[in-house]
Structure 1
Amino acid sequence: MSSQPSGPPPRTVPEEVHRRRWAILGVLVLSLLVVVLDNSILNVAMRTIATPPPVGLGANQAELEWAINSYTLVFAGLLFTAGILGDRLGRKKVLLTGMVVFGAASLLSAFAGSPAELIAYRGLMGVGGALVMPVTLAIITNVFEPQERPRAIGIWAGAVGLAIAIGPITGGLLLERFWWGSVFLVNVPIVVVAVIAMFVVVPESRDPAPGRMDPVGVLLSIVGLVLLVFAIIRGGELADVTVPEVWATGLGGLLVLALFAWHELRTDHPAVDLRLFRDRQVAAAMITIWLAFFVLMGVGFFMIFYLQSVRGYTPLQSGLMMLPQAVAQLAFAPRASAVVDRLGARVVAAGGLTLVALSFLLFLLVDAGTPAWLLAVVFFVQGAGIAHVSPPATVAIMAALPREKAGTGSALSSAVRQVGAALGVAVLGTVLSTSYRDGVEAPLAAIPAELRHTAGESIEATLGVAASLGARGQALVEPARAAFVDAMHLTSLVSAAVTLLGAVVVFRFLPGRLARPGGADRAAGTGRMGQAEGTTPVPAEGDRSPSAAPASGDHEPNDPVRV
C-alpha cells in the first residue's frame, strides 16, 4: 500500500503576501464595489434623470437604456484587453490606472449637461471599470493558496451581488438630499481612498508569458454589440422592427459579430478566446453567469419605474425595498462555496437559477396595491438565488484554467456578465416598452395626435404628458399604471422562462464536482485539472481546449509576485 502525503500542501505564495492576503482582498473588494455599485445606483436615479431640467436631464427611455449600456458595452469590449494589459504591464499598475479613469469619468458624469453627454461619460467610466474588474480577480488568484481560493472568490462574487443590491439604497439616500449628479460624485472620494490603499497593500504581479493585443477583435466586438443593441432598443422605441433603421442595423450587428467570431477563432492572440467554450465546465458556467445578469439587469430596469411611477415611492423608499435582496446576498454569498463542497456546483447553480426564476414568477402576483411585505419576500428570494449562482460559476471558470491565465479567465467571465447585462436591459426593456405601448394605446387616443407617440414611450412620458394637460390629463394616470403593471407581468414571465431554461442547461452540463488546480478532482480523485499547482495540464485524447493546451510560459510554478 502506497503511503499518502500528510500535512498541508506546500505554499506557493510568498510569506509576506500570504500574511496580508485578507487585507489585499478587502482593498480589491472596495475597488470592485465602487465599480459595480455605480451601475445599480444609476437604476434608482433613472426616473429623476428622466425628469425635465432643472431637476433632471429630460432623458427618454431609449436614452436611459443607452446611459446604462454605453458603460456595459465598452466594459465588455475592453475586458480581455484589460486582462492582457494586467498580465503584461503588471496588474497593480492597471488596477490603479483603471480606478483613476473611473474616478475622473464619474466626476464628468456628475456634471453632464445633456443625455448625450451622460452617455459619453458613462462610456468612459466603462473604460475604467474594464481595467479594474479582471485584474481584481487575477490578483486574488495569485495571493491566495488553492485551498482558500474558492472562499476568496466567493467573497469577491458576493461583493458584486451585494453592490447591485445596496446601490439603490445609496442612490435613494443621495437623491433625498442632493441633485441627480450626486450618484456619480459619490464615487470620487471612494476612489481616492481605494487608490491610496492599493499603493500600500496590493502587491504587483504579472504573467511570465502574457498574450498579445488584438485591436481588430476589440473593435469588431464593440461595433457588433453596439449595432445589435441599438437595433433592439430602437425597435422597442418605434414599436416596429420592419423599418430599415431597425432590421438593417440589427443584421449588420449580427454580421459584424459573426466576423468577430471568425477572426477570434483564427488568430493566435484573440481578444476573446472563444475556444475556451469547448471546455464543458467553462461553457456551462458562462451560460449561468450570462443568464443571471441578463434577467437581473433587465428586470431591475423596470422595477424602479414600478416602485416610483406606479407605487409613488421616493428614491429612498425604492432603495429600501431592495434591502431584503442585499441581506440575502450578504447572508448566503460568502457561504456558497461551502454549499458547493457539499452538494456540487451543478445542484447549487441550477438551484440558484430556479430560485431567481421563482422570484420572477412571484412578480405575477404584484399589482399597484401589493403589500410591501410581499415585495420584500420576492426580493429576498431573488437575492438568495443570486448568491448561489455567481460564486460556483466563477469558481468553475477559474478552476478550469492554470493560475498564469487568471487574467484571461477573469476577463472572460466579466465580459459574459456585462454582455448579458447589456442585452438584458435592451431585450427586456424592449419587451416592456412594446407591451406598455400596446396597453396604453386606447387611452392615448383621447389626447392630441402630436403628443401620442411621445406619451407612449414609457410610463414616465405618459405621466409627464398627463401633467402638462392638467385636469384633462388625469384620466391617463390610472390606465398608464395598469398598462405598466401588465407589461411588467409579461416581462417577468419571459424572464422566468429564460431563467428556468438556463437552470435546465446548467443542471445538464455543469459538472457536479469541480476539478480544482493544486489537488485531485473531488469527484473522482483524478482529472484534467488534478495536476500540481501551476503545471501544464495534459490534454486527453481529442481535447483541444485552450485550458488544456500547453502555452508558452504555462510551465512556471506561479506568477511572479513582488512585495
Structure 2
Amino acid sequence: MTDQAAAAPPEKLDAAVFKIAGVVVLGALMSILDITVVSVALPTFQTEFNATYAQVAWTLTGYTLALATVIPLSGWAADRFGTKRLYMLALVLFTAGSALCATAGSIEQLVGYRVLQGLGGGMLMPLGMTIMTRAAGPKRIGRLMAVLGIPMLLGPIGGPILGGWLIEAASWHWIFLINVPIGAVALVYALFALPKDNPVPSESFDFLGMLMLSPGLALFLFGVSSLPQEGTITAPKVWVTMLIGAVMIITFVFYSFKPRHPLLDLRLFRNTRLRVSTIALFVFIIAFMGAGLLFPSYFLQVRGESTLHAGLLMAPQGIGAMLTMPIAGTLADRVPVGRTVPFAMALIAAGFFTFTQVGTDTSYLLLCGSLFVMGLGMGGTMMPIMTSALRTLDHHDVARGSTLVNILQQIGGSIGTATMSVILTSQLNGSAEIPGAVNPQTGEPVTEAGAAIAHQQGANLPIPPDIIERGLHFVADSFATTFTVGFFLVLATFIPIAFLPRKKEAAPTEPTGEGVADAPVLMH
C-alpha cells in the first residue's frame, strides 16, 4: 500500500467521522431550530411587547444581519485560529445570546440580544461545513452533506412544534432557555470530540476588505429587511441603505481580486461547478425560503390554529425531506447532480402550486400532502447542490468555499423573505376599512383583514360575523397571491439548474505529505 493510499480516508463513513459529525449536527441544529422556533413566536412577541408585526420581525432580521456580518470572517478565522477554537467560541456566543434573550424586557432588548446570538450562529454553519468536508474528503462529501442535512430536516419539523409547545405549556422565554443546556452539552462534546487545532497562520487579515464587505452586507440587508415596514422601495430608509450597501459590496468585488488573500476569495468562482451550483442555490433560496416562512403564518392567521397545531401541520414537509435526503446524499457521490436535482425541483413546484390556490377552508389533507411532496423535493435539492459546489475544491479552499456558499444563502434568504413579506403586506393593505372601528392602541382605522386576523388569533372584537368572514376571504386571497409569486420564482430556479453538471468529474486528490499539516481534522 502506498503512502498516499494510507493517508486517504476510507470510502465508507467510519466512527471517527460520525463522532465529528455529531458535534457539527448539534451546533447546526441549535442554529436552525432557533430560526424556525422564533418564526412561530412572532404573534406572541406582538402581544407580549405591545409591538407591531414589522417591529417583532426584527427579531429575525437582526439575527440575519449578524449572520451576514460575521460569516465573511469565518473563512480567514478558521485558517488563522483553527476550526475547533472558533467553533467553541461560536457555541459560547450563541448560548450566551440565548440566555440573554430570555431576560429581555422590551422588543428593543430582544432584538439586541438576537444580534449577539447571530454572531455565534453565523459561524456555526460555515465552520461545521468546513470541519465535515475536511473530515470526509471529496469522495465522501455527498454522504457527509446528508448527515449535515439532519438539522435542516429537524428544523422545519421540530422548530414550529417545539416553539408552539413551549409557548403554550410554559412561556416564550423557554424557546431561548432551551438552548442553554444544549449549548453546554455541545461545548463539552466539541472539547473532547474535535481534534486539536494545528493552524498555520500564513495569511494576513484583509482589514480593508472587512471594512467594505461586512458593513456593506449589513446595510444592504437592513434596507431590504426594512421593505415590509416601510411598504415601498422609495422610502429613504430602504433605498439609501440598500444603495450604500450595494456600492460597498460592488467596490469589494473589484477590490477582492487585488490582494493575495482577500477576505472573501471570489477567484473561486473561476471553478465552473462552484459558480453554477451557487447561482442555482441562490435562486432556490430566494424562491423557497421567502415563501416557506409564510406557510405557518397562513395556518395561524387564516385558519386560526394555535402555534403548536401550526407547527404540527408543517411536519409533513420535514418528514418528506427525511425520506429523500439520505438517498440524495448517496446518489450525489455517484451520479452527477444535474441528473437528479431537476426531478427534485419538479416535486417542489408541484407541491408549491397547491398553495397558490389556498382559501379559508382548503383541505388540510391536500395542504399537508403538498407539504410532504415539497419535502421530498427539498431532500433531493439543497444538499446535493451544496455538495456539487464544494466537492471540486482542493483542501485549502474548502473553508473559503463554504463561506461563499453560506453568504449567498443568507443574502438569498433575506431577499426572499423581504420580497414575500412586502407582497403580502401590500396585498393586506388593500383591505377595506370598517366604518367607525379604531384601534385603541394606535388610533388607526381597523381594516376588515386586520379584524379577521385578530379574530383568528383569539381577540374578542365587537365586529359583525359577516365582516369577519369577508376579511378572512381577503386575507386568504392575499396569501394565495403571494404564494403565486413564490411559485413563479420556483419555476425560475429551473434555469440555473439546467446548467448543473451532468457528467461525473474527478474529485481533487486527498492531501498527503505536506498537505497533512494543513488538515489536522482530516487525519482523525
Q: TM-score higher than 0.5 here?
A: yes
Counterpart residue type for residue 229 of structure 2: E
Q: CA 1:560–1:43 in 2, change beyond 3 Å: closer, same or farther?
A: same
- 1:425-440 equivalences under 5 Å are 425-438=417-430, 440=431
1:154-194 superposed Cα distances (whole Å, 9 cap, x missing partner): 21134324323321111122112011121111111111111
Partner of 1:494: 485
Q: Percent identity?
A: 28
Q: 1:309–1:459: 8 Å Cα contact kept in structure 2?
A: no
* Structure 2 unaligned blocks of 5 or more: none
Find the residue that maps to 2:429 and give its secondary structure.
helix
Q: 2:198–2:517: 8 Å Cα contact kept in structure 1?
A: no
Aligned counterpart in structure 1 of residue 18 of structure 2, from 15, 22, 28:
22
Quote the offset at 1:478 in angstroms: 2.9
Partner of 2:33: 37
1:275-314 superposed Cα distances (whole Å, 9 cap, x missing partner): 3223221122112322333233322332222111211111
Q: Distance in 2 between matches of 1:341 and 1:426?
A: 35
1:69-109 superposed Cα distances (whole Å, 9 cap, x missing partner): 21122212321312221222111111111101100000111
- 1:298-309 equivalences under 5 Å are 298-309=290-301
Counterpart residue type for residue 48 of structure 1: T
2:93 is aligned with 1:108:
no
1:99-128 superposed Cα distances (whole Å, 9 cap, x missing partner): 011000001112212222121111111110
Counterpart residue type for residue 493 of structure 2: G
RMSD: 3.2
Q: Distance in 2 between matches of 1:296 and 1:75?
A: 19
Q: 2:300–2:457: 8 Å Cα contact kept in structure 1?
A: no
Partner of 1:515: 505
Partner of 2:346: 354
Quote the offset at 1:207 in angstroms: 5.5
Q: Distance in 1 between matches of 2:386 and 2:40?
A: 28
Moved more, 224-233 or 75-84: 224-233
Aligned counterpart in structure 2 of residue 261 of structure 1, from 253, 256, 259:
253
Q: 1:467–1:473: 8 Å Cα contact kept in structure 2?
A: no
Find the residue that maps to 2:502 and give its secondary structure.
coil
Find the residue that maps to 2:462 and give its secondary structure.
helix
Counterpart residue type for residue 533 of structure 1: E
Partner of 1:61: 53
Aligned counterpart in structure 2 of residue 274 of structure 1, from 236, 249, 266:
266
2:329 is aligned with 1:369:
no
Q: Distance in 2 between matches of 1:64 and 1:225?
A: 21
Quote the offset at 1:140 in angstroms: 1.3
Partner of 1:560: 520
Q: 2:224–2:414: 8 Å Cα contact kept in structure 1?
A: no
Counterpart residue type for residue 114 of structure 2: R
Partner of 1:168: 160
Q: CA 1:206–1:433 in 2, change beyond 3 Å: closer, same or farther?
A: farther
TM-score, with structure 2 as normaliser:
0.90
Find the residue that maps to 2:356 and give its secondary structure.
helix
Quote the offset at 1:315 in angstroms: 1.0
Q: 1:78–1:218: 8 Å Cα contact kept in structure 2?
A: no
2:473 is aligned with 1:482:
yes
Q: 2:164–2:306: 8 Å Cα contact kept in structure 1?
A: yes
Q: Distance in 2 between matches of 1:270 and 1:404?
A: 14
Partner of 2:462: 471
Q: Distance in 2 between matches of 1:57 and 1:258?
A: 39
- 1:405-424 equivalences under 5 Å are 405-424=397-416
Q: Distance in 1 between matches of 2:369 and 2:163?
A: 22
Counterpart residue type for residue 492 of structure 2: L
Quote the offset at 1:516 in angstroms: 4.5
Q: Distance in 2 between matches of 1:338 and 1:247?
A: 45
Counterpart residue type for residue 168 of structure 1: P
Q: CA 1:208–1:301 in 2, change beyond 3 Å: closer, same or farther?
A: same
Partner of 1:71: 63
Partner of 2:232: 240
Find the residue that maps to 1:447 and give its secondary structure.
strand
Q: 2:256–2:264: 8 Å Cα contact kept in structure 1?
A: yes
Quote the offset at 1:391 in angstroms: 1.5
Quote the offset at 1:41 in angstroms: 0.9
Q: Distance in 2 between matches of 1:89 and 1:82?
A: 10
Q: CA 1:306–1:327 in 2, change beyond 3 Å: closer, same or farther?
A: same
Q: Distance in 1 between matches of 2:458 and 2:127?
A: 49
- 1:200-349 equivalences under 5 Å are 200-205=192-197, 208=200, 211-340=203-332, 343-349=335-341
Partner of 2:510: 533
1:406-441 superposed Cα distances (whole Å, 9 cap, x missing partner): 211221111211111112111111111111112x1x
Q: 1:12–1:558: 8 Å Cα contact kept in structure 2?
A: no
Q: CA 1:466–1:195 in 2, change beyond 3 Å: closer, same or farther?
A: closer
Q: Distance in 1 between matches of 2:113 and 2:455?
A: 27
Q: CA 1:469–1:559 in 2, change beyond 3 Å: closer, same or farther?
A: closer
Q: 1:229–1:423: 8 Å Cα contact kept in structure 2?
A: yes
Q: Distance in 1 between matches of 2:248 and 2:450?
A: 34
Q: 2:40–2:296: 8 Å Cα contact kept in structure 1?
A: yes
Q: Distance in 2 between matches of 1:189 and 1:460?
A: 40
TM-score, with structure 1 as normaliser:
0.84
